[in-house]
Structure 1
Amino acid sequence: MKIDILTLFPEMFDGVMNHSILKKAQDTGAFQYRLVNFREYSQNKHKKVDDYPYGGGAGMVLTPQPVFDAVEDLSADCSEKKAKPRIVLMCPQGEPYNQSKAMELANEEHLIFICGHYEGYDERIREHIATDEISIGDYVLTGGELGAMVVIDSVVRLLPGVLGNESSAPEDSFSTGLLEHPHYTRPLDFRGMRVPDVLVSGNHGKIEEWRRLQSLKRTYQRRRDLLDDFPLTDKERQWLEDLNDE
């Protein structure tokens, strides 16, 4: 996968992109990234990329020309055989980000992220360039960089070979539609707090059943909204009814 990031502050990505899973993913060739300061594309003699909004109002707005030119330049090597890049606008008005969207983006060959600043974008950027608008939450950040880091991390870890254990990502919270079950490791007894007996029973069928029940229980207690459209077996419905009775 190729990822291009349009930002006015490329240095913000140095720590995130060069450590842990993202660094390992680059080393193995799973993805490559490029930081593009779109100020360099500005045709303004002072390299300005923002201006006052028409109609008045507080703040400055990113002008379309540098962003259009940067995206067109980064997309120029797309032939008929290559899929066009997905162009992701990081924006608080965007679609709420979730694991399903991460899995969708992980199937792409080329992603371009646009990180805004100031009061917002010229609307023509939103209407004529972006293929996706993404928000990582109902709050406003200083710029789109932090949001882009979150999305990139969640996408890259889904690429083939990035995680050491291929079953890790499919079992993560939200990947199955439920929150993940509890985990335990050594010691068996820590200060009188014991690991559940079923996990050391060696009965894999019982272990899987326990984990499924715990996922349902945790989801019911913490994110009941996730169960609204979740397909449940008769046995799982009974589990949830028992939890409700408790």
Structure 2
Amino acid sequence: MRPFRIDVLTLFPGIFDGYLGQSLLKRAIDAGLVEVHLWNFRDWATDRHKTVDEPPYGGGPGMLLKCEPIFACVEAVNAQADLPGQLVMLTPQGEPLNQQLIEKLAGQQRITLLCGRYEGFDDRIIQGLKPLEVSAGDFICNGGEVPAMLVIDAVIRLIPGVLGDETSAKYDSFSSAALLEYPQYTRPREFRDMRVPDILLSGDHGAIAKWRHEQSLERTRQRRGDLLSGSADDPQS
């Protein structure tokens, strides 16, 4: 099976150095389950100053990433493998990042992440390359690198073989069940007058599964009732 390939296009590839060398992602890369390739937009700039940004037409603050180096970079990176991959632009104007979108991306064999900087991209980059625009949330980061790490972190959990227990992702919050995860406990049984629920010590797996589902429902109702809207678990349905 070929590894899941992730290409990251950025002005600051060094930001990813420590991230790629740690924890689950490092193990997935070492095991040949995932490949992550870093590319610098400046390598496709054609002038001696390696210029990738210019002031916006019509005035306004900041600088915009130029068409020429971004198009050239994306086209060159796409040619690195037989599949072009899903092009994803990290932008606060994009589709909200959620578990369903992560599942869609994990169903690809390759994704290419475009990390913006400054005031963003010349709009012709969006018009011409037609990326899937994705937002990590209703807030502004200094660039797309940290949102790209969020995408990578969430996607690799769904790649077969990456998690030690293949059922772990199934029960995560925001999984296909659209419920928040139930509360979990480990040793000791009692800590500062807080006890592990007796049901979890009963050995009755059917009762435990029922309790966990009920806890997931209650936690979702309390914290994220919007997730239940229109579902079979919605008391208003």
- Name the TM tier (shorter chain): over 0.9
Q: Given residue 62 of structure 2, which amino acid in structure 1 is its aligned partner?
A: G
CA offsets, 1:178-206, max 9 Å, x none?
Answer: 00000011111223221111111111111
CA drift at 1:44 = 2.2
Q: Where in structure 2 are the equivalents of 1:163-242 lying within 5 Å? A: 163-175=163-175, 176-232=177-233, 237=235
SS in 2 for 1:121: coil
CA drift at 1:77 = 4.3
- The alignment's C-alpha RMSD in Å is 1.6
Q: Note if 1:41 corresponds to 2:44.
A: yes
CA offsets, 1:3-42, max 9 Å, x none?
Answer: 1111111110111111011101101111111110111100
TM-score by length of 2: 0.94
Higher mean alpha-carbon deviation, 186-195 vs 104-113, is at: 186-195
**Map of 1:89 onto structure 2:** 89
Q: Note if 1:60 corresponds to 2:63.
A: yes
Higher mean alpha-carbon deviation, 122-131 vs 134-143, is at: 122-131
Higher mean alpha-carbon deviation, 58-67 vs 124-133, is at: 124-133
Gaps of 5+ in 2: none
Q: What is the alpha-carbon distance in structure 1 between the residues aligned to residue 148 and residue 231 of structure 2?
A: 29
Identity %: 50
Q: What is the alpha-carbon distance in structure 2 between the residues aligned to residue 130 and residue 7 of structure 1?
A: 18
Runs of 4+ aligned structure 1 residues displaced above 4 Å come to: none
Q: What is the alpha-carbon distance in structure 2 between the residues aligned to residue 134 and residue 229 of structure 1?
A: 25
**Map of 1:114 onto structure 2:** 114
CA offsets, 1:135-173, max 9 Å, x none?
Answer: 001011110001000111100111001000000001000
CA offsets, 1:82-109, max 9 Å, x none?
Answer: 4x31001000000000011111101111
TM-score by length of 1: 0.91
SS in 1 for 2:76: helix
**Map of 1:142 onto structure 2:** 142
Is the CA contact (8 Å cut-off) linking 1:22 and 1:153 kept in structure 2?
Answer: yes
Q: How many residues align?
A: 233
Q: What is the alpha-carbon distance in structure 1 between the residues aligned to residue 81 and residue 124 of structure 2?
A: 22
Gaps of 5+ in 1: 241-246
**Map of 1:12 onto structure 2:** 15
SS in 2 for 1:181: coil
